[in-house]
């Protein structure tokens, strides 16, 4: 047992993470992987609402890079690459390794940067630090020989570097330009944890900006600002976001300069994205190892990289949006003694945009009407139909998953073909004609 009991602040943080993990499972955002077999390797699966929200994050990032920004094209490279890529990139050496210590009593291993003094599990003595490479080995082909050994990619950007020339030529690009990619990456993390914060399989959203060495500093500053703005524009609290300059001795092995964008999680300030000036490290090394000259106009382009985690962004948005309202939001009902949860996600991130609700379910005409409305909206928006429980309870159920709008068919609907639209944040209701509904909703979701 840990000899120091948790402080009040630590207990609050653990409590908050437990609430968020439990909400995520109960409402179909995130499930433990292989749960019926007791879970596996701290992996997680994204449920029906989780996959919608994660897709929203990836789409917003993709559009930002390939539509809003100038001169960035996309790529989707294979996860499995020649093992020579990983020799060239430096990932097979000590550079891509965590320092770990082992408890001499319970033999648990810990990252050196996460621990002080004694074993946090049993207070045993710790061994001297040892390097532990994070690459995940696999074998390709049916015979498990050395020749068929390769690795699951540990960062998606290597697929971009080995395609630098293909993209340059096929798209007739000129420097400066960028290549964006979203995809899975794998690391044999020693201590995965904090829910989906650190896992062994995760998704990265990476953009590599190729430019002349002379312009590298200017673009580094530009991209750092753009990436901070991205999180803030999607509603992240300013006070919970910061950019930290990483000193030379702590930088990734390829980085000439590194800024970590950090979020204030319940478990402390932690990195959610890295902005790196990788200099000519990657293209010069791939030239050397492959024998292919990857210079442009006689020099190796410098690379400014923005490297975000889709899963870490997900966790950040989820935690930042999570609110508990003691006594309830309306404070007029029987439920007012309860704590109500509001997931105040940005409307672009929210997994469900609207819910269609008949006021009561024992009136067949109302149920029929609400189902018709649901059928009308389903091709246009991610929406849900819900008729179970009191209307107040249904509103709360939708607030808990961040649904932006609740559309209620009531008795007036049967008279004049209108319904009410309730706004998640203001709880204000407006009445709208069903025949104008699709246009009104499109406008509300874009401009509200
Ligand atoms: N290409 C540069 C690179 O991979 P990194 O700082 O090692 O840089 C970038 O990783 C981002 O990828 C991190 O900021 C984080 O969002 C995400 N990431 C890295 N390891 C992760 C893990 N084990 N679990 C979840 N996300 C991870």
Q: Please enumerate in sequence order all residues whose Cβ is within 8 A of that of 272, keeping only pairs 6 or more positions apart, or say none.
A: 231, 261, 262, 263, 308, 309, 312, 313, 316
Give the residue-averaged pLDDT of 219-239: 98
pLDDT in tens, 7-32: 888 888 899 999 999 999 999 999 99
In the chain, how many H helices and how many E strands?
A: 12, 21
- Chain mean position to CA 113: 23
Supply the pTM of this predicted model.
0.94
Task: Report the percentage of the chain scoring pLDDT > 90.
Answer: 81
Residue with tokens 């949006």: 321
Exposure string over 193-202, b if 16+ CB within 10 A, otherwise e:
ebbbbbbbbb
pLDDT in tens, 105-134: 998 888 887 787 888 889 999 998 888 889
pLDDT at 433 over 90: yes
pLDDT at 1 (0 to 100): 39
Q: Residue 107: left if φ>0, alpha if ψ -120 to 50, beta else—which one? A: left
Does residue 199 line the site of ligand 1, with CB under 6 A?
A: yes
Confidence label for 336 from pLDDT (cuts 50, 70 and 90) = low
Report the nearest atom of ligand 1 relative to the CA of 157: 1
Alpha helices in 107-250 (DSSP H): 157-161, 164-170, 216-233
Pocket test for ligand 1, best of 208, 307, 313, 315 (most atoms within 8 A of CB): 307
pLDDT at 331 over 80: no
Nearest CA to ligand 1 atom 14: 273
Per-residue tokens: 400: 């808990």
CA–CA gap between residue 363 and residue 358 (Å, rounded): 9
The SS3 call for residue 222 is helix
Confidence label for 213 from pLDDT (cuts 50, 70 and 90) = very high
pLDDT at 448 (0 to 100): 41
**Are the beta carbons of 38 and 158 closer than 8 angstroms?**
no
Ligand 1 centroid to Cα of residue 308, in Å, is 7
pLDDT at 229 (0 to 100): 98
Report the nearest atom of ligand 1 relative to the CA of 260: 14
Closest CA to 318 of 293, 345, 283: 345
pLDDT at 107 (0 to 100): 86
Confidence label for 2 from pLDDT (cuts 50, 70 and 90) = very low
Does residue 187 line the site of ligand 1, with CB under 6 A?
A: yes
Does residue 273 line the site of ligand 1, with CB under 6 A?
A: yes
Confidence label for 58 from pLDDT (cuts 50, 70 and 90) = very high
Nearest CA to ligand 1 atom 16: 309
The mean pLDDT of the chain is 94
Look at 7 and 335; give whichever has higher pLDDT: 7
Ligand 1 centroid to Cα of residue 309, in Å, is 6
CA–CA gap between residue 338 and residue 358 (Å, rounded): 24
Give the residue-averaged pLDDT of 266-290: 98
Does residue 274 line the site of ligand 1, with CB under 6 A?
A: yes
Q: Are strands 130-133 and 136-139 parallel, antiparallel or unpaired?
A: unpaired
């Amino acid at each position: 047992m840990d000899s120091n009991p948790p402080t009040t602040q630590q207990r609050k943080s653990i409590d908050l993470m437990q609430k968020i993990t439990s909400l995520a499972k109960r409402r179909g955002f995130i499930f433990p992987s292989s749960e019926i077999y007791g879970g596996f390797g701290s992996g997680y699966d994204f449920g029906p609402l989780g996959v919608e929200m994660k897709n929203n994050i990836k789409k917003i990032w993709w559009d930002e890079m390939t539509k809003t920004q100038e001169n960035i094209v996309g790529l989707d490279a294979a996860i499995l690459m020649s093992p020579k890529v990983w020799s060239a990139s430096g990932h097979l050496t000590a550079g891509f390794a965590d320092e770990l210590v082992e408890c001499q009593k319970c033999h648990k291993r810990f990252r050196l940067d996460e621990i002080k003094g004694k074993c946090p599990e049993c207070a045993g003595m710790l061994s001297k630090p040892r390097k532990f490479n994070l690459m995940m080995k696999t074998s390709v082909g049916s015979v498990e020989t050395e020749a068929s050994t390769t690795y699951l990619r540990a960062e998606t950007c290597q697929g971009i570097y080995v395609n630098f020339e293909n993209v340059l030529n096929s798209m007739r690009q000129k420097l400066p330009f960028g290549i964006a990619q979203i995809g899975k990456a794998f690391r044999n993390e020693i201590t995965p944890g904090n829910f989906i914060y650190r896992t062994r399989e995760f998704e990265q959203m990476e953009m590599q900006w190729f430019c002349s060495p002379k312009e590298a500093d200017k673009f580094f500053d530009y991209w750092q600002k753009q990436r901070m703005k991205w999180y803030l524009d999607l509603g992240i609290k300013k006070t919970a976001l910061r950019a930290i300059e990483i000193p030379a001795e702590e930088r990734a092995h390829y980085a000439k300069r590194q800024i970590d964008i950090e979020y204030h999680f319940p478990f402390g300030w932690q990195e959610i994205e890295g902005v790196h000036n990788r200099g000519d490290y990657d293209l010069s090394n791939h030239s050397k190892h492959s024998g292919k000259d990857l210079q442009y106009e006689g020099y190796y382009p410098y690379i400014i990289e923005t490297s975000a985690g889709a899963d870490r962004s997900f966790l950040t948005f989820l935690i930042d949006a999570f609110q508990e309202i003691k006594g309830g939001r309306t404070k007029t009902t029987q439920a007012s003694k309860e704590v109500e949860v509001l997931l105040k996600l940005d409307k672009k991130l929210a997994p469900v945009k609207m819910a269609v609700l008949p006021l009561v379910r024992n009136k067949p005409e109302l149920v029929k009407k609400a189902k018709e409305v649901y059928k009308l909206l389903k091709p246009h928006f991610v929406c849900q139909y819900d008729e179970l429980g009191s209307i107040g309870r249904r509103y709360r159920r939708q607030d808990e998953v961040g649904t932006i709008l609740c559309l209620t068919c009531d008795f007036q609907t049967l008279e004049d073909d209108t319904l009410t639209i309730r706004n998640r944040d203001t709880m204000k209701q407006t009445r709208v004609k069903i025949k104008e509904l699709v246009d009104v909703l499109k406008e509300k979701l874009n401009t509200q």
